[in-house]
Chain A
Amino acid sequence: MIEIEGVSQWFGERHVLRDVGLTLTEDRIGVIGSNGSGKSTFARLLNGLLVPSKGRVAVDGLDTGRKGREVRRRVGFVFQDPDIQIVMPTVAEDLAFGLKRHGLSKAEIALRVTEVLAEYGLSEFRDHPAHLLSGGQKQLLAIAAVLVTGPRYVVFDEPTTLLDLRNRRRVGKLVRELEQKVVVVSHDLELLAGFERVIVFDGGRVVADGPAEESVAAYVAMHPPL
Protein backbone atom coordinates (compact mmCIF):
# COMPACT_ATOMS: atom_id res chain seq x y z
CA MET A 1 0.00 0.00 0.00
CA ILE A 2 1.25 3.51 -0.83
CA GLU A 3 -0.03 6.31 1.39
CA ILE A 4 0.17 9.97 0.40
CA GLU A 5 -0.81 12.26 3.26
CA GLY A 6 -1.28 16.02 2.88
CA VAL A 7 1.45 16.29 0.26
CA SER A 8 2.38 19.60 -1.29
CA GLN A 9 5.36 20.15 -3.55
CA TRP A 10 6.95 23.30 -4.82
CA PHE A 11 9.99 24.13 -6.90
CA GLY A 12 11.12 27.64 -6.02
CA GLU A 13 8.05 29.82 -6.54
CA ARG A 14 6.11 27.14 -8.41
CA HIS A 15 3.52 25.26 -6.44
CA VAL A 16 3.28 21.95 -8.34
CA LEU A 17 1.19 19.78 -5.99
CA ARG A 18 -1.36 21.09 -3.51
CA ASP A 19 -2.45 19.10 -0.47
CA VAL A 20 -2.74 15.69 -2.13
CA GLY A 21 -4.02 12.85 0.03
CA LEU A 22 -4.47 9.36 -1.46
CA THR A 23 -4.15 5.72 -0.51
CA LEU A 24 -3.07 3.46 -3.39
CA THR A 25 -4.05 -0.17 -2.93
CA GLU A 26 -5.27 -1.26 -6.38
CA ASP A 27 -3.18 -3.39 -8.76
CA ARG A 28 -3.62 -1.08 -11.77
CA ILE A 29 -3.68 2.67 -11.21
CA GLY A 30 -3.50 5.29 -13.96
CA VAL A 31 -2.63 8.97 -13.55
CA ILE A 32 -3.67 11.48 -16.19
CA GLY A 33 -3.73 15.26 -16.56
CA SER A 34 -2.62 18.13 -18.74
CA ASN A 35 1.03 19.05 -19.18
CA GLY A 36 2.28 20.69 -15.99
CA SER A 37 -0.62 19.37 -13.91
CA GLY A 38 1.76 17.72 -11.43
CA LYS A 39 1.40 14.06 -12.42
CA SER A 40 5.11 13.41 -13.13
CA THR A 41 6.04 15.05 -9.83
CA PHE A 42 3.45 12.84 -8.15
CA ALA A 43 5.04 9.77 -9.75
CA ARG A 44 8.50 10.76 -8.50
CA LEU A 45 7.19 11.04 -4.96
CA LEU A 46 6.10 7.41 -4.97
CA ASN A 47 9.61 5.93 -4.89
CA GLY A 48 11.40 8.72 -3.09
CA LEU A 49 13.02 10.29 -6.15
CA LEU A 50 11.47 13.41 -4.68
CA VAL A 51 10.77 14.00 -1.02
CA PRO A 52 7.63 16.11 -0.53
CA SER A 53 8.05 19.74 0.50
CA LYS A 54 5.16 19.18 2.91
CA GLY A 55 3.33 16.03 4.00
CA ARG A 56 4.35 12.40 3.93
CA VAL A 57 4.59 9.52 1.45
CA ALA A 58 4.95 5.96 2.78
CA VAL A 59 5.31 2.66 0.93
CA ASP A 60 4.22 -0.33 3.01
CA GLY A 61 4.75 1.90 6.02
CA LEU A 62 8.25 3.01 4.97
CA ASP A 63 8.64 6.77 4.83
CA THR A 64 10.17 7.79 1.47
CA GLY A 65 12.17 10.57 3.11
CA ARG A 66 13.77 8.45 5.81
CA LYS A 67 13.87 5.01 4.18
CA GLY A 68 14.60 6.01 0.60
CA ARG A 69 16.90 3.08 -0.20
CA GLU A 70 14.40 0.46 1.03
CA VAL A 71 11.56 2.25 -0.76
CA ARG A 72 13.42 2.26 -4.09
CA ARG A 73 14.05 -1.49 -3.73
CA ARG A 74 10.29 -1.96 -3.47
CA VAL A 75 9.24 0.59 -6.07
CA GLY A 76 10.76 0.38 -9.55
CA PHE A 77 10.57 3.42 -11.82
CA VAL A 78 10.40 3.44 -15.61
CA PHE A 79 11.13 6.79 -17.23
CA GLN A 80 9.61 8.26 -20.37
CA ASP A 81 12.96 8.33 -22.17
CA PRO A 82 14.79 4.99 -21.94
CA ASP A 83 18.02 6.68 -23.07
CA ILE A 84 18.48 8.22 -19.63
CA GLN A 85 17.55 5.03 -17.81
CA ILE A 86 19.95 2.69 -19.60
CA VAL A 87 23.28 3.41 -17.94
CA MET A 88 25.51 0.57 -19.15
CA PRO A 89 26.92 0.18 -22.68
CA THR A 90 25.34 -3.16 -23.63
CA VAL A 91 21.99 -4.86 -23.06
CA ALA A 92 23.22 -7.66 -20.77
CA GLU A 93 25.46 -5.29 -18.81
CA ASP A 94 22.56 -2.96 -18.15
CA LEU A 95 20.39 -5.80 -16.87
CA ALA A 96 23.26 -6.95 -14.64
CA PHE A 97 23.75 -3.43 -13.27
CA GLY A 98 20.66 -3.45 -11.04
CA LEU A 99 21.26 -7.02 -9.87
CA LYS A 100 24.84 -6.24 -8.86
CA ARG A 101 23.49 -3.53 -6.56
CA HIS A 102 21.15 -6.06 -4.98
CA GLY A 103 24.16 -8.08 -3.84
CA LEU A 104 23.66 -11.14 -6.05
CA SER A 105 26.61 -13.40 -6.91
CA LYS A 106 28.12 -13.42 -10.43
CA ALA A 107 26.56 -16.82 -11.20
CA GLU A 108 23.12 -15.70 -10.00
CA ILE A 109 23.38 -12.50 -12.03
CA ALA A 110 24.36 -14.39 -15.20
CA LEU A 111 21.46 -16.82 -14.78
CA ARG A 112 18.90 -14.12 -14.07
CA VAL A 113 20.11 -11.97 -17.01
CA THR A 114 19.76 -14.93 -19.38
CA GLU A 115 16.24 -15.63 -18.10
CA VAL A 116 15.11 -12.01 -18.44
CA LEU A 117 16.63 -11.63 -21.91
CA ALA A 118 14.59 -14.64 -23.04
CA GLU A 119 11.45 -13.43 -21.27
CA TYR A 120 11.49 -10.07 -23.05
CA GLY A 121 12.64 -11.32 -26.44
CA LEU A 122 16.02 -9.62 -26.13
CA SER A 123 18.27 -12.71 -26.21
CA GLU A 124 19.63 -11.95 -29.67
CA PHE A 125 20.65 -8.47 -28.45
CA ARG A 126 22.57 -9.72 -25.40
CA ASP A 127 25.89 -8.04 -26.30
CA HIS A 128 24.34 -5.40 -28.49
CA PRO A 129 25.33 -1.76 -27.72
CA ALA A 130 22.30 -0.13 -26.11
CA HIS A 131 22.51 2.97 -28.29
CA LEU A 132 21.95 0.88 -31.42
CA LEU A 133 18.61 -0.56 -30.24
CA SER A 134 15.34 0.77 -31.68
CA GLY A 135 13.12 2.98 -29.50
CA GLY A 136 10.81 0.07 -28.69
CA GLN A 137 13.69 -2.25 -27.82
CA LYS A 138 15.23 0.43 -25.59
CA GLN A 139 11.96 0.85 -23.68
CA LEU A 140 11.66 -2.93 -23.32
CA LEU A 141 15.21 -3.04 -21.96
CA ALA A 142 14.48 -0.20 -19.55
CA ILE A 143 11.39 -2.03 -18.27
CA ALA A 144 13.24 -5.37 -18.07
CA ALA A 145 16.10 -3.71 -16.16
CA VAL A 146 13.60 -2.51 -13.56
CA LEU A 147 11.68 -5.79 -13.33
CA VAL A 148 14.81 -7.95 -13.10
CA THR A 149 15.37 -6.69 -9.56
CA GLY A 150 11.90 -7.90 -8.48
CA PRO A 151 10.20 -4.74 -7.19
CA ARG A 152 6.78 -5.02 -5.52
CA TYR A 153 5.46 -1.90 -7.28
CA VAL A 154 6.37 -0.34 -10.63
CA VAL A 155 5.78 3.31 -11.48
CA PHE A 156 5.77 4.19 -15.19
CA ASP A 157 6.19 7.82 -16.23
CA GLU A 158 4.71 8.12 -19.74
CA PRO A 159 6.27 4.87 -20.96
CA THR A 160 4.71 4.95 -24.43
CA THR A 161 5.11 8.62 -25.36
CA LEU A 162 8.15 8.06 -27.62
CA LEU A 163 6.91 4.80 -29.17
CA ASP A 164 5.10 3.89 -32.38
CA LEU A 165 1.69 2.19 -32.26
CA ARG A 166 3.07 -1.35 -32.43
CA ASN A 167 5.52 -0.80 -29.59
CA ARG A 168 2.91 1.15 -27.61
CA ARG A 169 0.63 -1.85 -27.72
CA ARG A 170 3.50 -4.18 -26.87
CA VAL A 171 4.37 -2.14 -23.79
CA GLY A 172 0.66 -1.86 -22.93
CA LYS A 173 0.26 -5.65 -23.00
CA LEU A 174 3.37 -6.05 -20.86
CA VAL A 175 2.07 -3.55 -18.30
CA ARG A 176 -1.33 -5.27 -18.12
CA GLU A 177 0.27 -8.68 -17.59
CA LEU A 178 2.71 -7.67 -14.83
CA GLU A 179 2.26 -9.38 -11.50
CA GLN A 180 3.42 -6.25 -9.66
CA LYS A 181 1.17 -3.42 -8.57
CA VAL A 182 1.48 -0.73 -11.20
CA VAL A 183 1.05 3.05 -11.32
CA VAL A 184 1.12 4.47 -14.86
CA VAL A 185 1.34 8.18 -15.63
CA SER A 186 0.27 8.65 -19.23
CA HIS A 187 -1.42 10.71 -21.91
CA ASP A 188 -2.12 7.44 -23.72
CA LEU A 189 -5.71 6.76 -22.68
CA GLU A 190 -5.77 3.45 -24.59
CA LEU A 191 -3.01 2.19 -22.28
CA LEU A 192 -5.18 2.83 -19.22
CA ALA A 193 -8.30 1.08 -20.53
CA GLY A 194 -9.63 -1.37 -17.95
CA PHE A 195 -7.50 0.00 -15.10
CA GLU A 196 -9.18 -0.34 -11.70
CA ARG A 197 -8.50 3.26 -10.81
CA VAL A 198 -7.52 6.40 -12.70
CA ILE A 199 -6.60 9.64 -10.91
CA VAL A 200 -6.94 12.94 -12.76
CA PHE A 201 -4.68 15.87 -11.86
CA ASP A 202 -5.28 19.49 -12.72
CA GLY A 203 -3.31 22.44 -11.38
CA GLY A 204 -1.59 20.24 -8.83
CA ARG A 205 -4.83 18.90 -7.33
CA VAL A 206 -6.73 15.65 -7.71
CA VAL A 207 -9.92 16.58 -9.59
CA ALA A 208 -11.27 13.09 -10.37
CA ASP A 209 -10.57 9.65 -8.95
CA GLY A 210 -12.38 6.46 -9.86
CA PRO A 211 -12.60 3.56 -12.31
CA ALA A 212 -10.88 4.18 -15.66
CA GLU A 213 -14.06 4.83 -17.67
CA GLU A 214 -15.44 7.41 -15.23
CA SER A 215 -12.17 9.27 -14.72
CA VAL A 216 -11.29 9.34 -18.42
CA ALA A 217 -14.81 10.64 -19.21
CA ALA A 218 -14.35 13.38 -16.60
CA TYR A 219 -10.93 14.27 -18.06
CA VAL A 220 -12.27 14.42 -21.61
CA ALA A 221 -15.19 16.57 -20.43
CA MET A 222 -12.66 19.01 -18.92
CA HIS A 223 -11.11 19.46 -22.37
CA PRO A 224 -13.88 19.88 -24.97
CA PRO A 225 -12.89 19.97 -28.67
CA LEU A 226 -11.62 23.40 -29.77
Chain B
Amino acid sequence: MLSLHHDARTPVHALPAGVKLLVLFAVGTTLFFVTSMTVLGAAVVGVGLCYALARIPWRTAGRQLLTVLPFAVSILALQWLFSGWETAVLVGQRIVVLVMLANLVTLTTRTTAMIAAIETALRPLKPLGIRPERVGLVVAMTIRFIPVIKEQADQVRAAQRARGVERSTAFLAPLLVKTLRLADGLGEALDARGVDGPRRTEGTRPL
Protein backbone atom coordinates (compact mmCIF):
# COMPACT_ATOMS: atom_id res chain seq x y z
CA MET B 1 0.00 0.00 0.00
CA LEU B 2 2.96 2.29 0.58
CA SER B 3 3.87 2.65 -3.08
CA LEU B 4 2.06 -0.10 -4.86
CA HIS B 5 -0.81 1.28 -6.88
CA HIS B 6 -0.59 -0.03 -10.44
CA ASP B 7 -2.43 2.27 -12.82
CA ALA B 8 -4.54 0.58 -15.51
CA ARG B 9 -8.10 0.56 -16.83
CA THR B 10 -9.45 -2.90 -16.08
CA PRO B 11 -12.65 -4.29 -14.55
CA VAL B 12 -10.73 -5.05 -11.35
CA HIS B 13 -9.53 -1.44 -11.09
CA ALA B 14 -13.06 -0.21 -11.82
CA LEU B 15 -14.66 -2.13 -8.93
CA PRO B 16 -15.54 0.19 -6.01
CA ALA B 17 -13.00 0.07 -3.17
CA GLY B 18 -15.72 -0.89 -0.69
CA VAL B 19 -16.64 -3.98 -2.74
CA LYS B 20 -13.01 -5.05 -2.97
CA LEU B 21 -12.48 -4.64 0.76
CA LEU B 22 -15.68 -6.56 1.44
CA VAL B 23 -14.58 -9.43 -0.85
CA LEU B 24 -11.18 -9.47 0.85
CA PHE B 25 -12.84 -9.64 4.26
CA ALA B 26 -15.26 -12.39 3.15
CA VAL B 27 -12.59 -14.51 1.45
CA GLY B 28 -10.19 -14.00 4.35
CA THR B 29 -12.79 -15.25 6.82
CA THR B 30 -14.05 -18.14 4.66
CA LEU B 31 -10.55 -19.45 3.92
CA PHE B 32 -10.11 -20.64 7.47
CA PHE B 33 -13.16 -22.89 7.24
CA VAL B 34 -12.05 -24.54 3.97
CA THR B 35 -10.13 -27.76 4.52
CA SER B 36 -9.98 -29.05 0.95
CA MET B 37 -6.67 -28.73 -0.90
CA THR B 38 -8.53 -28.81 -4.21
CA VAL B 39 -10.79 -25.88 -3.29
CA LEU B 40 -7.86 -23.89 -1.94
CA GLY B 41 -5.86 -24.78 -5.06
CA ALA B 42 -8.73 -23.48 -7.18
CA ALA B 43 -8.72 -20.29 -5.07
CA VAL B 44 -4.99 -19.81 -5.83
CA VAL B 45 -5.71 -20.21 -9.56
CA GLY B 46 -8.71 -17.86 -9.24
CA VAL B 47 -6.59 -15.12 -7.65
CA GLY B 48 -3.98 -15.65 -10.37
CA LEU B 49 -6.68 -15.11 -13.01
CA CYS B 50 -7.75 -11.90 -11.24
CA TYR B 51 -4.13 -10.70 -11.53
CA ALA B 52 -4.23 -11.43 -15.26
CA LEU B 53 -7.56 -9.63 -15.56
CA ALA B 54 -6.09 -6.62 -13.72
CA ARG B 55 -3.07 -6.74 -16.08
CA ILE B 56 -0.59 -6.81 -13.18
CA PRO B 57 2.88 -7.72 -14.48
CA TRP B 58 4.03 -11.10 -13.14
CA ARG B 59 7.22 -9.55 -11.87
CA THR B 60 5.23 -7.10 -9.69
CA ALA B 61 3.00 -9.89 -8.41
CA GLY B 62 6.00 -12.09 -7.61
CA ARG B 63 7.77 -9.27 -5.80
CA GLN B 64 4.77 -8.81 -3.49
CA LEU B 65 4.77 -12.51 -2.65
CA LEU B 66 8.52 -12.58 -2.06
CA THR B 67 8.26 -9.99 0.72
CA VAL B 68 6.21 -12.39 2.88
CA LEU B 69 8.14 -15.49 1.84
CA PRO B 70 10.43 -15.77 4.91
CA PHE B 71 7.42 -15.38 7.21
CA ALA B 72 5.38 -17.93 5.26
CA VAL B 73 8.25 -20.44 5.09
CA SER B 74 8.78 -20.34 8.84
CA ILE B 75 5.05 -20.92 9.47
CA LEU B 76 5.02 -23.81 6.98
CA ALA B 77 8.06 -25.39 8.59
CA LEU B 78 6.47 -25.24 12.03
CA GLN B 79 3.17 -26.65 10.72
CA TRP B 80 5.01 -29.50 8.97
CA LEU B 81 6.94 -30.25 12.14
CA PHE B 82 3.98 -30.27 14.52
CA SER B 83 0.91 -31.08 12.36
CA GLY B 84 2.14 -32.93 9.28
CA TRP B 85 2.61 -32.02 5.61
CA GLU B 86 -1.12 -31.86 4.75
CA THR B 87 -1.83 -29.11 7.27
CA ALA B 88 1.34 -27.31 6.12
CA VAL B 89 0.12 -27.31 2.50
CA LEU B 90 -3.35 -26.09 3.54
CA VAL B 91 -1.86 -23.26 5.59
CA GLY B 92 0.50 -22.43 2.70
CA GLN B 93 -2.40 -22.22 0.25
CA ARG B 94 -4.37 -19.97 2.61
CA ILE B 95 -1.40 -17.62 3.07
CA VAL B 96 -0.81 -17.38 -0.69
CA VAL B 97 -4.48 -16.64 -1.43
CA LEU B 98 -4.80 -14.09 1.34
CA VAL B 99 -1.55 -12.25 0.66
CA MET B 100 -2.07 -12.20 -3.11
CA LEU B 101 -5.67 -11.03 -2.76
CA ALA B 102 -4.75 -8.29 -0.28
CA ASN B 103 -1.97 -7.15 -2.63
CA LEU B 104 -4.36 -7.20 -5.57
CA VAL B 105 -6.70 -4.85 -3.69
CA THR B 106 -3.76 -2.55 -2.96
CA LEU B 107 -2.43 -2.67 -6.52
CA THR B 108 -5.79 -1.83 -8.07
CA THR B 109 -7.18 0.71 -5.58
CA ARG B 110 -6.09 4.29 -5.01
CA THR B 111 -5.46 5.19 -1.37
CA THR B 112 -8.08 7.95 -1.55
CA ALA B 113 -10.70 5.43 -2.73
CA MET B 114 -9.71 3.06 0.06
CA ILE B 115 -9.95 5.81 2.66
CA ALA B 116 -13.30 6.99 1.27
CA ALA B 117 -14.58 3.40 1.59
CA ILE B 118 -13.41 3.21 5.20
CA GLU B 119 -15.07 6.56 5.92
CA THR B 120 -18.34 5.36 4.36
CA ALA B 121 -18.23 2.14 6.36
CA LEU B 122 -17.72 4.08 9.59
CA ARG B 123 -20.45 6.67 8.94
CA PRO B 124 -23.14 4.71 10.85
CA LEU B 125 -20.91 4.95 13.93
CA LYS B 126 -21.05 8.76 13.98
CA PRO B 127 -23.71 8.86 16.75
CA LEU B 128 -21.21 6.97 18.94
CA GLY B 129 -18.78 9.89 18.63
CA ILE B 130 -16.57 8.31 15.96
CA ARG B 131 -15.49 10.82 13.28
CA PRO B 132 -15.04 8.84 10.04
CA GLU B 133 -13.03 11.60 8.30
CA ARG B 134 -10.55 11.62 11.19
CA VAL B 135 -10.19 7.82 11.02
CA GLY B 136 -9.63 8.10 7.26
CA LEU B 137 -6.99 10.75 7.80
CA VAL B 138 -5.23 8.60 10.38
CA VAL B 139 -5.15 5.65 7.95
CA ALA B 140 -3.75 7.85 5.16
CA MET B 141 -1.15 9.38 7.42
CA THR B 142 -0.09 5.97 8.70
CA ILE B 143 0.55 4.89 5.11
CA ARG B 144 2.37 8.14 4.38
CA PHE B 145 4.59 8.17 7.47
CA ILE B 146 5.74 4.55 7.72
CA PRO B 147 8.50 5.17 5.13
CA VAL B 148 9.38 8.51 6.76
CA ILE B 149 9.87 6.85 10.15
CA LYS B 150 11.84 4.02 8.52
CA GLU B 151 14.09 6.66 6.95
CA GLN B 152 14.60 8.22 10.38
CA ALA B 153 15.46 4.82 11.85
CA ASP B 154 18.03 4.34 9.07
CA GLN B 155 19.52 7.77 9.84
CA VAL B 156 19.84 6.96 13.56
CA ARG B 157 21.49 3.61 12.76
CA ALA B 158 23.87 5.27 10.30
CA ALA B 159 24.80 7.92 12.88
CA GLN B 160 25.50 5.19 15.44
CA ARG B 161 27.59 3.20 12.97
CA ALA B 162 29.56 6.35 12.16
CA ARG B 163 30.44 6.47 15.86
CA GLY B 164 31.48 2.83 15.91
CA VAL B 165 28.30 1.28 17.41
CA GLU B 166 27.33 -1.62 15.16
CA ARG B 167 24.38 -3.13 17.01
CA SER B 168 22.55 -1.52 19.89
CA THR B 169 19.00 -1.31 21.18
CA ALA B 170 19.92 2.24 22.21
CA PHE B 171 18.76 3.38 18.76
CA LEU B 172 15.17 3.22 20.02
CA ALA B 173 15.50 6.25 22.32
CA PRO B 174 16.75 8.72 19.65
CA LEU B 175 14.26 7.28 17.18
CA LEU B 176 11.44 7.88 19.65
CA VAL B 177 12.60 11.48 20.18
CA LYS B 178 12.79 12.04 16.42
CA THR B 179 9.34 10.52 15.94
CA LEU B 180 7.83 12.71 18.67
CA ARG B 181 9.37 15.79 17.03
CA LEU B 182 7.93 14.64 13.72
CA ALA B 183 4.51 14.27 15.38
CA ASP B 184 4.80 17.79 16.81
CA GLY B 185 5.67 19.24 13.40
CA LEU B 186 2.93 17.24 11.79
CA GLY B 187 0.40 18.66 14.23
CA GLU B 188 1.43 22.15 13.13
CA ALA B 189 1.26 21.18 9.46
CA LEU B 190 -2.26 19.83 9.88
CA ASP B 191 -3.26 23.06 11.61
CA ALA B 192 -1.75 25.05 8.77
CA ARG B 193 -3.59 22.96 6.18
CA GLY B 194 -6.98 23.47 7.76
CA VAL B 195 -7.39 20.49 10.09
CA ASP B 196 -8.10 22.42 13.24
CA GLY B 197 -6.87 21.28 16.60
CA PRO B 198 -6.59 23.10 19.92
CA ARG B 199 -4.87 26.50 19.74
CA ARG B 200 -1.32 26.72 20.93
CA THR B 201 -0.18 29.44 23.28
CA GLU B 202 2.79 29.74 25.60
CA GLY B 203 4.66 26.68 26.68
CA THR B 204 3.35 24.38 23.99
CA ARG B 205 6.03 24.72 21.34
CA PRO B 206 9.52 23.66 22.33
CA LEU B 207 11.97 25.62 20.21
Contacts and interface: CB of A to CB of B under 8 A. Distances in A.
Interface of A: 9-12, 14, 16, 36, 40-41, 44, 47-53, 65, 68-69, 72-73, 76-77, 79, 81, 83-90, 93, 96-98, 101-102, 127, 129-132, 145-146, 149
Contacts of B200: 49-51
B182 interface: yes
A89 B199 contact: no
Contact of B194 (A9, A83, A98, A130): A98
Contact of A12 (B140, B144, B189, B202): B202
Given A87-B186, A89-B111, A101 B202 contact: no
Contacts, number: 112
Given A49-B191, A84-B182, A89 B203 contact: no
Contacts of B148: 83, 131
B194 A101 contact: yes
Given A88-B111, A98-B194, A44 B188 contact: yes
A181 B206 CA distance: 29
A54 B181 CA distance: 26
Nearest to A145: B193
A16 B147 contact: no
Interface stretch (B1-9, B16-24, B65-73): B1-9
Given A87-B144, A101-B193, A79 B188 contact: yes
Contact of A96 (B3, B112, B137): B112
A93 B112 contact: yes
B147 A131 contact: yes
Contact of A89 (B143, B185, B193, B205): B143
10 contacts: A11-B204, A11-B205, A68-B196, A84-B186, A84-B189, A93-B112, A101-B193, A101-B195, A129-B3, A130-B144
Contact of B202 (A47, A53, A81): A53
Contacts of B3: 129, 131-132
A148 B38 CA distance: 54
A91 to B, nearest CB: 11
A179 to B, nearest CB: 20
Given A51-B200, A101-B193, 12 more contacts: A14-B207, A50-B205, A79-B188, A79-B189, A84-B185, A87-B137, A87-B141, A87-B144, A88-B111, A93-B112, A97-B193, A131-B3
Contacts of A146: 193
A11 B111 contact: no
Interface string B147-178: 11001000000000000000000000000000
